[in-house]
Amino acid sequence: MSDPPTAEPTPLESFRPFLGLLARLRIGRRLRGHLDPSDLVQQTLLRAHQTASPPDGDDDGRRAAWLRRILERTLLDEVRRVTRVKRGGGAARSLAAAIDESSSRLETFLAAPDLSPSQVAEGHERLIRLAQALEELSNDQRQAVELHYLKGWTLAEVGRELGRSKAAVAGLLRRGLRKLRGRLEPDKAD
Amino acid sequence: MASNDQNRDRSDERLGSVLVEYLEAVESGIEPDRRAWLVRYPEFYDELSDFFADRDIIEAIAGPLREAVRDPEEDLILGQLDPSEIPDHLGRIGPYEILDWIGRGGMGIVFKGFDSSLNRFVAIKILAPQWAADPGARRRFTREARSAAAISHPHVVTIHAVGEWKGRPYLVMEYIPGSTLEERLEEGGPPPLAEILTIAIQVASGLAAAHAQGLIHRDVKPANILLEGNLTRVRLVDFGLARARDDAQLTQQGTLAGTPRYMAPEQARGETLDSRSDLFSLGGVIHALCTGEPPFRGNSIPEVLRRVCDESPPSPRRINPEVPEWLVAIIGRLLAKRPDQRFDTATEVAERLERHLARLRDPSLPPVASVESVEDRVADRRLTRRFAVIVPLGAGLIAGLGVAAWEWVARPDRATSRPRDRRPVAIDTALPDRPAPDRPALTAYPDPDRLTAIYRRDFRDSRPILPGLTLATRPGLEAVPEPGPGGVRLTIPRGLVDGIGLATTFRISGDFEITAGFDVPPTEPPRIGTGIGPELRITTTDPDVFGSIARLERDKGAVFALAHATVDPDGRRRILGRWPPAASRSGRFRLIRRGSMLHYLVSDGVEASFDERFRVEFGTEPIESITLGIDSGGSPEGADVVWNELSIRAERFTDRPLESR
């Protein structure tokens, strides 16, 4: 979406990395094994296509904000669905409440009422850029950076997840950050 | 080049460990002084400088994002688990792999786990970390484990083990895939009537088992009722609030524990509870089964409690007009404000619902007497005591279940009082798909030093059955015992629906051990008719209190089908039963009373050892008579059995006047 071929709005499909990042962020350990981020993205895009009224204009930031809200709704529906088939009304409610709560925290962070529309769009565009930059990392680097920086996992936890030593994870983080920064700030290329 | 690569690898390795040191310092909560690191590791000055700068850039974006998507509960729930070696697992608790988080209830967190030593899934409930330091919480949690582990019943969740991990108690239960009744109701609304009854009967029988152990559940509600898979097989869970009935200190605390919407008024007021408080909650559950809603609702807890205490429950028919009147009446009785206006026992509720279910499935069965009003019940009790009728259900209810047609008596005064109203009584449900419960271990041995009174008869000597025994039969029944070389044969002629037996003429006091052996005549396969089928019994005293022992089945011989009926102090009959699968053409039964507990044991005739099948709180009253019997079980096909031995050891025998004399 950085350089659309025509004046047409960016196709929804190209928001996939952005939605993927959000989905991975939103599916915590309690939901792992029950929800797959790529399914969530797929369903979100499906819903978006079926929605009659995408936001006006070709502003990526605004469209991203719109898609994010659809993803949040889809996520909440999915959480309700998957927790219902598991046992425990308490579990379902607790998860739904947690999802709901973090959804509104995310909303506050990205689209607080005191932000101007252009600020909101800017915030989303920044997330889009982050998502695209993450896509360019190696899989291990991307996972290490996401888990450690975006989800706050410790080195040891990331190491267990990736089957790597802590030193190896530290290496992945260092090189991943380097590359990421290069993509986010092209003028300071590595 | 090669040497450069090697150097770079070594350098990377070293840089890696420096970064680990730095990142772990950050994780421990101290933001290290970066300049000091640059000074300490001059060889990595450039790399470290870049790394710090890169971190700041990313952190500016990631920090708020991380905070926004954080799930504080996840940290609480999963943060303290031991790490698992298996990538997709959430962690470990002691020897158990934690696969999934199932839920949260009261003070506990529930996980789906895997027990690798036994290769099975388990549900693990562990005290939540925030309660770990609270001794009261620990005590309550541990008590749940103890309470629940004491109950072994097909409709109560099985506790496999209890443990402690990092100072937090946990209990390991059977893992039951499925949903809670609460979820089922939220999704599907009220199920069909037969399903409502099936679920309610199972909950009631599970409660009866808890009550038999002296436990009150105190938090019976749809969320604590698990439905396995898509079947309507029910298990009662969460004895987190369960109290021993005699645990006065804890029941008197007056603290509000339980779910307000299903809570009994006496519970809402913090008064002393008994097992009838669970019956109130059961009434609420059945109401919810019929309507999808709890009976008492409100916008706040105090409002709900006020309604629980003061308002009569709304009729379930207002929401679901298809609820039959008799069920409305049963729910009404269960939801009575005063415990003594409710049913007395969960068993009674289960039996009553079973009769209705049987009739639902087989409308040709006689109608079930309607729920009595509170005033009527006094008269009914007298009736029950005097006539003690146990009439078989048709085959419609539970095919092949041993239900007694045990009406014959040795005492003429009883025999002349023929009951007018044959009331069907069912025994604890055994649905066809229900697996046999695990055999309980032998829990009592008689003390031979105390059992000095001995009566022993070997019937294989063809002698007349006297002394000490008399034929127990109804006047006019022309069955006669036939002594023979194999024992004494009792035959119920074809066409007669009745029972006969050999009854002791003496009374048995104190502890005892009674053993009786039987053969199912090999020349003539046991005959089965349209009723429940022939049945062997030892009755322990008059027909109010019986122990049913085995059902005769074609080609199989006797299928041990223990059941037991007794009468509560207030005159209500309780019938309890177990249906182990063993079948045999010959075998022995044994009854052991030790203290007030009566134990039922069987031996299949091949092995000399006895298995305990069942035990029940029986009381210490002398036993009027022991009867070795056979009963047609409602079948007109007739039946026969050969009893070959009777041996009684007891603390005391007393001659009792023979009514037939």
pLDDT in tens, B412-470: 223 333 332 222 222 222 222 223 343 344 555 667 677 878 888 888 876 666 667 77
B491-496: long-range pairs with CB below 8 Å, 24+? B491/B630, B491/B638, B491/B639, B491/B640, B492/B534, B492/B630, B492/B631, B492/B632, B492/B638, B492/B639, B492/B640, B493/B638, B494/B527, B494/B636, B494/B637, B494/B638, B495/B636, B495/B638, B496/B632, B496/B636, B496/B638
How is B463-485 classified by DSSP, letter by letter? --S-SSEEEE--TT-----EEET
- Residue B572: predicted pLDDT: 43
Among residues B316, B251, B661, B280, the alpha carbon closest in space to that of B471 is found at B661
**Which residues of chain A have a CB within 8 Å of the CB of B180?**
87-89
Catalytic residue among B71, B88, B219, B421: B219
Pairing verdict, β B120-127 and B108-115: antiparallel
Give the model confidence (pLDDT) of B576-590 as tens digits.
444 444 556 677 778
Helices marked H in A27-87: 37-50, 60-85
A174 to chain B, any CB pair closer than 8 A? The answer is yes
> What is the SS3 assignment for B381?
helix
In angstroms, what separates the C-alpha of B103 from chain A's closest C-alpha? 4
Answer yes or no: are the C-beta atoms of B96 and B82 closer than 8 Å. no
Answer yes or no: are the C-beta atoms of B640 and B658 closer than 8 Å. no
Same domain, A114 and A150: no
In angstroms, what separates the C-alpha of A6 from chain B's closest C-alpha? 30
**pLDDT of B287 strictly over 90:** yes
Q: To 10 degrees, the CA torsion angle through B180, B184, B185, B188?
A: 180
DSSP state for residue B428 in the 8-state scheme: S
A88: tokens are 């425990």
Q: Is the dihedral of CA A75, A77, A78, A80 positive or negative?
A: positive
- Residue A5: predicted pLDDT: 46
Q: Out of A13-17, B9-13, B405-409, B468-472, which region has the weakest mean confidence (pLDDT)?
A: B405-409
Q: How far is CA B305 from the centre of its chain?
A: 29
A43 to chain B, any CB pair closer than 8 A? The answer is no
Number of structural domains in chain A: 2
Q: Is B57–A185 a contact, with Cβ atoms under 8 angstroms apart? A: yes
Which member of A127, A152, A169 has the closest CB to residue B66? A152
Single-letter amino acid code for the residue at A150: L
In angstroms, what separates the C-alpha of A133 from chain B's closest C-alpha? 11
A180 φ, ψ (degrees, to nearest 5): -60, -45
Single-letter amino acid code for the residue at B308: V
Mutate to test the interface with B, among A29, A68, A172 (most CBs of B within 10 A): A29
Same domain, A87 and A169: no
A115 to chain B, any CB pair closer than 8 A? The answer is no
Among residues B526, B572, B204, B212, the alpha carbon closest in space to that of B385 is found at B572
Q: Is B183–A92 a contact, with Cβ atoms under 8 angstroms apart? A: yes
The residues spanned by each domain of chain B are 2-70, 75-174, 182-361, 443-655
Output the domain CATH number for residue A187. Answer: 1.10.10.10
Could you tell me which chain B residue has the CA closest to the CA of A84?
Answer: B183
B75-174 — its CATH code? 3.30.200.20
Same domain, A16 and A54: yes
**Which residues of chain B have a CB within 8 Å of the CB of A168?**
16
Q: Among residues of chain B, what percentage have pLDDT more than 70?
A: 65
A79: tokens are 């959480």
B384: Cβ–Cβ under 8 A, 6 or more apart, which residues?
B567, B571, B572, B573
Same domain, A68 and A150: no
B274: Cβ–Cβ under 8 A, 6 or more apart, which residues?
B216, B245, B339
The residue with tokens 């645990």 is B247
Q: Is B77–A167 a contact, with Cβ atoms under 8 angstroms apart? A: no
**Which residues of chain B have a CB within 8 Å of the CB of A127?**
61, 65
Mutate to test the interface with B, among A174, A184, A185 (most CBs of B within 10 A): A174
- In a 10 Å sphere around its CB, with 0-12 CB exposed, 13-18 middle and 19+ buried, how is residue A61 labelled? buried
From first to last of the 190 residues of chain A, give the pLDDT tens digit.
Answer: 444 444 566 688 889 999 999 999 888 877 777 788 999 999 999 888 887 666 766 678 888 888 988 998 898 888 877 765 544 445 666 677 777 777 777 887 787 777 787 888 888 888 899 999 999 999 999 999 999 999 888 898 899 888 889 999 999 999 999 999 988 876 654 4
Whole-prediction pTM value?
0.53
Compute the mean pLDDT over every residue in chain B, rounded to the nearest whole number: 71
Q: How far is CA B236 from the centre of its chain?
A: 8
Same domain, A130 and A148: no
Answer yes or no: are the C-beta atoms of B426 and B351 closer than 8 Å. yes
Q: Cα(B611)–Cα(B584) distance, rounded to whole angstroms?
A: 14
How is B238-272 classified by DSSP, letter by letter? --TT-EETT-HHHHTT----S-GGG--HHHHTT--
A26 to chain B, any CB pair closer than 8 A? The answer is yes
pLDDT band at B166 (very low <50, low <70, confident <90, very high): confident
Q: Among residues of chain B, what percentage have pLDDT more than 90?
A: 12
Q: Looking at the structure, give the CATH architecture of the domain made up of residues B443-655.
A: Sandwich (2.60)
Same domain, A167 and A128: no
Give the model confidence (pLDDT) of B200-249 as tens digits.
999 999 999 888 888 888 889 998 898 887 667 899 887 655 544 333 33
Which member of A94, A127, A170 has the closest CB to residue B20? A170
Same domain, A147 and A55: no
Q: Cα(B509)–Cα(B515) distance, rounded to whole angstroms?
A: 16
Same domain, A113 and A151: no
Q: Domain B182-361 maps to which CATH number in 3.40.50.1820, 1.20.210.10, 3.40.640.10, 1.10.510.10?
A: 1.10.510.10
**Which residues of chain A have a CB within 8 Å of the CB of B24?**
154-155, 166
How is B300-354 classified by DSSP, letter by letter? SHHHHHHHHHHSPPPPGGGT-TTS-HHHHHHHHHHT-SSGGGS-S-HHHHHHHHH
Q: For residue B600, what is the enclosing H or E element?
A: strand B597-603
Among residues B495, B447, B432, B511, the alpha carbon closest in space to that of B634 is found at B495
**ipTM of the complex model:** 0.84
Same domain, A49 and A102: yes
Neighbours of A3 (CB within 10 A): 5
* Sheet with B178-180: strands ordered across: B178-180, B225-228, B233-236
Q: Out of B60-64, B587-591, B657-661, which region has the weakest mean confidence (pLDDT)?
A: B657-661
> What is the SS3 assignment for A173?
helix
- Better-predicted residue by pLDDT, B210 or B544: B210
Domain B75-174 identical in fold to domain B182-361: no
Q: To 10 degrees, the CA torsion angle through B634, B638, B644, B650?
A: 20
- Residue B89: predicted pLDDT: 80
Same domain, A104 and A184: no
Span B508-529, mean pLDDT?
Answer: 69
Give the model confidence (pLDDT) of B241-285 as tens digits.
554 433 333 333 333 444 678 888 888 887 778 889 999 999 999
- Residue B433: predicted pLDDT: 28
Same domain, A125 and A148: no
Same domain, A1 and A94: yes
Is B219 known to be catalytic?
A: yes
Span B162-182, mean pLDDT?
Answer: 85
Among residues B181, B208, B176, the alpha carbon closest in space to that of B195 is found at B181
Q: Cα(B117)–Cα(B335) distance, rounded to whole angstroms?
A: 46
**Which residues of chain B have a CB within 8 Å of the CB of A88?**
102-105, 110, 180
Answer yes or no: are the C-beta atoms of B561 and B426 closer than 8 Å. no
Q: Out of A146-160, B309-323, B541-555, B612-626, which region has the weakest mean confidence (pLDDT)?
A: B541-555
Give the model confidence (pLDDT) of A13-33 as tens digits.
889 999 999 999 888 877 777
Which member of A33, A91, A155 has the closest CB to residue B23? A155
Which member of A145, A178, A185 has the closest CB to residue B50? A178
Q: A74: domain range?
A: 1-135
- Residue B333: predicted pLDDT: 92
Give the model confidence (pLDDT) of B331-346 as tens digits.
999 999 989 889 999 9
Single-letter amino acid code for the residue at B421: D
**Which residues of chain A have a CB within 8 Å of the CB of B84?**
160
- Residue B90: predicted pLDDT: 81
Q: Is A105–B67 a contact, with Cβ atoms under 8 angstroms apart? A: yes
In angstroms, what separates the C-alpha of B397 from chain A's closest C-alpha? 31
A76 to chain B, any CB pair closer than 8 A? The answer is no
**Which residues of chain A have a CB within 8 Å of the CB of B99?**
33
